[in-house]
Every structure is written in C-alpha cells, then in structure tokens.
Amino acid sequence: MTSVQAARPGKVASLAAQRRRSAAIAWVFVAPFVLTFGVFGLIPLVSSLAMAFTDLRARDIRNPFNVNFVGFENFVAVLTDPSFQRALFNTLMFVVVGVPATLFLALVLAVLLNSVSRRAATFFRVGYYTPVITTIVAVAVVWRIMYQNTGVLNTILGWVGISGPNWLSDPNTALLAITIMAIWRNIGASMVIFLAGLRGIPADVNEAASIDGANAVQKFFRITIPMMMPTILLNTILVTTGYMQFFDEPFVMTNGGPLESTTSIALQVYNQFKYGNYSVGAAGAYVLFALVGILAIIQFRFFRQRT
C-alpha cells in the first residue's frame, strides 16, 4: 500500500502534464482562428463602437488628436435624420413583405418536393438553389433588364392588356420590384432548410395519424407544423437578419433611388462612410445591430411559446 500511495502523486503529475500538453496542442490549432477573429473581427468591432461616440470625420485621419468625445450625439443625429428614417421605413417594409413571402413560398415548395421521388427532388432543389449561389451582380443585371419598359415583365403584362409600370424608375414600384427579386433569389436557401426539417419528421407519426383518420390538411397543421417549429424559427431568424441588412440589391440596381425609395439602412450607413462621416456611419451600423437583435429576441419569444 505504501508503494502504491507513493506512486500516486507521480501519476497525478503525469496526467496533469498530459492535459497541459493536450491543451497546448489544441491552442496551436485554434490560434489561427483566434488571431484572425481578433485582428479582423474583434478589434474593428470595438474600434467602430468607440468611433460611434466621437466626431471622427475623414479629415481627422491625418490629425487624430482633433477627434473629440461627443457621447450619444451621433445616435441622436442618426435617429432624427429624415434620410435615415426613410431608410428605416424602406427596410421594415422590405422585411414585412419579403420575409413572410419567402418563408411561405419556400415551405410550399419544400412540402411539394418532399412528396416526389428523391431524384426529382434533387433536380428541382438544384434548380431552386442556383440563384442563391449566383453572384448578386449577375442576378441584378438580368432583373434590371427584365424590369425595363420593353422588358420581359411588361411584355407579358401587355399580352393581357395591362400597361406595365416603369418598375425601377417609379418611387411607388421600385422597392416592390427589388423585393420580388430578393424573394425569388432567397427561396432556394429557405426551401432546403425546410426540406431537411420535413425529412426529419418520423414516418411513423404520419402513418399513425392516417390510421386514426386524419387527412392531409390535419396532418400538416397538427403534426408537420408543430414538429417543424425549430426549423421555422431558424429559417425566420436567418431570413429576417438577412433582409434587415439588405444592401446589394438596391446598391446594384437603383443606388437607393429614385428619391431614396429603395435606400436601406445598410446602404445609408455605407453612404455615410463614403462621404467621410465615419462616426455617424458607425452609429447607424449599431442602430441596425440593435434592431436586428430586438427582432431576433421577439422571434425567439414568439416561437418559444409554440414549441
């Protein structure tokens, strides 16, 4: 017993040395990500937050000691700016129309594809997902041509006796036109996630419901939707977050026009940086960050009560 007790401290020390060695090896593998995130993620994040509380402008880059602390003045300036308020309205309208439409159409397509053969589902899934991986510039150029007065859409409307609008040049239709394009482009990603959720529902549950006399509609609303709630929550947050930050579509297609009818918060923030108003742009970015966080919390609370 005495020899065993005497050997135990050595074994404990050996185990501790192995743990330290394993931790050191783990940190060697993790270090590239930690350094990359720190240099290109954490440091810019903290710097932009500090910038939002100063009066930093482009002219101050050469004279950094001229920068002053201004507190919440930039946030007040952002929230009271009519251009930002218009951008906020455009963004919310884009989200209110685009998110439900995207999720609804994606869910319908996922249900339809889940009822066909695997080979057919794969073919259509690739087709619907292709716009997601296509560069936004190419998509925007094609849709901009389609939206011209003599484009495909107005030509089709002319066949049924409808005079199509000047989609991207009319403030009343420009945002709607961009929303339609965004819905078409993002359906594929949401559809794939919904399809994965549908494939995860046990077949025994639907078979038992059929034996009990439930029809297709009852099974969809009483089995499929409740069991899909985690997937619906994930898709809702992803789509909402993406639509709140929409930038590429108006930047490429309309540059925020006409008459700021398609300017988003992200595009407004970009313009502030472009004009050299770095501190105001940083404040606008954090206002957008706060809005995205608030919407995510609301969605979590809403779906938590139904799961």
What mean pLDDT comes out for the span 94-102?
94
Any alpha helices (H) in the chain, and if so which ranges? 2-37, 43-51, 73-80, 82-114, 118-133, 136-146, 152-159, 174-199, 203-211, 216-219, 225-227, 229-244, 248-253, 265-274, 278-304
What mean pLDDT comes out for the span 149-167?
87
Which pLDDT score is estimated for 4?
47
| Whether 115 and 230 share a structural domain | yes
What mean pLDDT comes out for the span 187-203?
88
Top-confidence residue, 67 or 271: 271
Contacts of 196 (CB under 8 A, 6+ apart): 231
| Whether 202 and 247 share a structural domain | yes
Contacts of 172 (CB under 8 A, 6+ apart): 165, 261
Top-confidence residue, 285 or 21: 285
Which pLDDT score is estimated for 58?
81
Sequence-distant contacts of 142-147: CB under 8 A, at least 24 apart: 143/177, 143/181, 143/253, 144/168, 144/252, 144/253, 147/177
What mean pLDDT comes out for the span 224-239?
90
Whether 245 maps to a domain, the answer reads yes
pLDDT at 12 over 70: no
* CATH number of the domain where residue 92 is located: 1.10.3720.10
Share of the chain above pLDDT 90, in %: 39
Whether 59 maps to a domain, the answer reads no
Distance CA 307, CA 295 (A): 18
Whether 253 maps to a domain, the answer reads yes
pLDDT at 9 over 70: no
| Whether 78 and 47 share a structural domain | no
pLDDT at 155 over 50: yes
Q: How many domains does the chain have?
A: 2
Query: What mean pLDDT is reported for the chain?
Result: 87
**147 burial type by CB count under 10 A (0-12 exposed, 13-18 middle, 19+ buried):** buried
What mean pLDDT comes out for the span 92-102?
94
Show the domain range for 184.
73-304
What mean pLDDT comes out for the span 197-215?
81
| Whether 94 and 206 share a structural domain | yes
| Whether 30 and 166 share a structural domain | no
Distance CA 111, CA 123 (A): 15
pLDDT at 67 over 90: no
pLDDT at 176 over 70: yes
